[in-house]
Structure 1
Amino acid sequence: MPLTRRLTLLAFAAALAGCATSTAKLSTATVGDYRDTIDLSGKLSVNYQKDGRQESITGNFNWEQRPGAIDVALISPLGQTVATINVTPNSATLVQGGQAPRTADDIDSLTQQALGWPLPVSGLRDWLQGYALDAQGQRFRASPANNSVTTRDGWRLRFVEWQDPAAPQPAPRLIQAERAASGDITDLAIRIVVLPAA
């Protein structure tokens, strides 16, 4: 795969670790330690099949979430910022080096236009804090004793490791998300590592 295409895919894949459909459309937890303001960084890897070929992408991300806005920096394995994403209640904007900004009403539309394969963008704001909406639309709070759920939109989540397993409500360190098929993409697996705060 050409390097430029790999970096483009990396950028969008990294968005998995820090995007949302639109802050106006995101669920808001009213229980536990859910926070509207967070700063996270981490690593992720994405594996999937498309057109009979196995594809793999790795990268890093920085994620800043404030009430009404999410900002994501997408970083190559060599440490270069390859894209930034800003999500507000009204729009999502993606900027890649040397290209004009791309804007859409929501980040789902924007990434679908660019990639043509699904990103679990609408749930990740919750997932990164150990929450999800289950298949019945009920609030799920992950814990070491209750660490897996199938989401409303068909993702199978497993919260594998924790920042501090002994905490009353531990924050996730390793999240694995899988989806069997979506369009021409099959066997999509995402591994997200949330790094501890500095």
Structure 2
Amino acid sequence: MRLASFIILALLLSGCSGLTPQQQQPITERPWSEHYQALLAADSWQLSGKIGIRSPQESHSANLFWQQLQQHYLIELSGPLGQGGARIEGNTDGISIDIAGEEPLWAATPEALMEQTLGWQFPVQDIRYWVRGIPAPGSYYDLSLKQQLAHKLTQNGWEISYLRYNYQDEFAFPEKLTISRNNLRLTIIAKEWQKPQ
């Protein structure tokens, strides 16, 4: 079950100039449509922080490093959950996951890998939008705003709550968010956002 939880975390993860969370006063609010378009266009970024998963049976956390370069992504998890860590790398041609002490796994899509290992699916492609504070394009969503930023988002049966933002460079980026459905909840804390060099 520990491995299953670990794979769930890995697969759930598939704008941004240099961002280090700071205690700053909120910037002047820009219209939501402007904010949305700017973050939608930010397809290359890097995030360092922590991720936690909680279910009725288990609770785990790990350090998170996530680099997105357009369609290519690299995700590294380390800490108690990883027992030595994991490296996930993928693009439009497929995804591979290398967990310390396990045989490497490969699949054509993150959804296929999740289905093959766990027997159920999650809208994996959506999370790269949710983590930036915007709904994923192409499917229905319900959104409530607070100060022209996403506050609660419901999409594909999942609820995303934005608990804290980091204000820098005339933009606001999620610093803490939860993604939940039924009894499963993920928490992501972004300690640093930056544009890759």
Q: Which residue does 1:23 correspond to in 2?
A: none
Match of residue 173, structure 2, among 162, 171, 174? 171
1:28-177 matches, within 5 Å, as 31-34=37-40, 35-49=42-56, 54-77=57-80, 81-116=84-119, 118-133=121-136, 137=140, 144-145=147-148, 146-151=150-155, 153-164=156-167, 168-177=170-179
Is residue 195 from structure 1 mapped to residue 191 from structure 2 by the alignment?
yes
Distance in 2, matches of 1:154 and 1:94, equals 26
Distance in 2, matches of 1:18 and 1:75, equals 14
Residue 17 of structure 1 and its aligned partner are, at CA, apart by 6.0
Q: Which stretches of structure 1, 4 residues or longer, exceed 6 Å deviation after superposition?
A: 139-142
CA contact (8 A) 1:148 1:156 kept: yes
Local SS of the residue matching 1:132: coil
CA deviation string 1:153-185 (max 9, x = no partner): 110111110012x874310001111112xxxxx
Residue 13 of structure 1 and its aligned partner are, at CA, apart by 4.1
Query: Taking structure 1 as reference, are residues 141 and 18 closer, same or farther at Cα in structure 2, changes over 3 Å only?
Result: farther
Gaps of 5+ in 2: 15-34
Query: Taking structure 1 as reference, are residues 65 and 121 closer, same or farther at Cα in structure 2, changes over 3 Å only?
Result: same
Higher relative contact order (CA 8 A, sep 6+): 2
Distance in 2, matches of 1:169 and 1:110, equals 35
CA contact (8 A) 1:17 1:128 kept: no
Matched residue pairs, number? Answer: 172
CA contact (8 A) 2:60 2:81 kept: no
Gaps of 5+ in 1: 20-28, 181-186
Task: Give RMSD over aligned pairs.
Answer: 3.1
Distance in 2, matches of 1:105 and 1:142, equals 36
Query: Taking structure 1 as reference, are residues 155 and 56 closer, same or farther at Cα in structure 2, changes over 3 Å only?
Result: same
Residue 137 of structure 1 and its aligned partner are, at CA, apart by 2.6
Query: Taking structure 1 as reference, are residues 13 and 66 closer, same or farther at Cα in structure 2, changes over 3 Å only?
Result: same
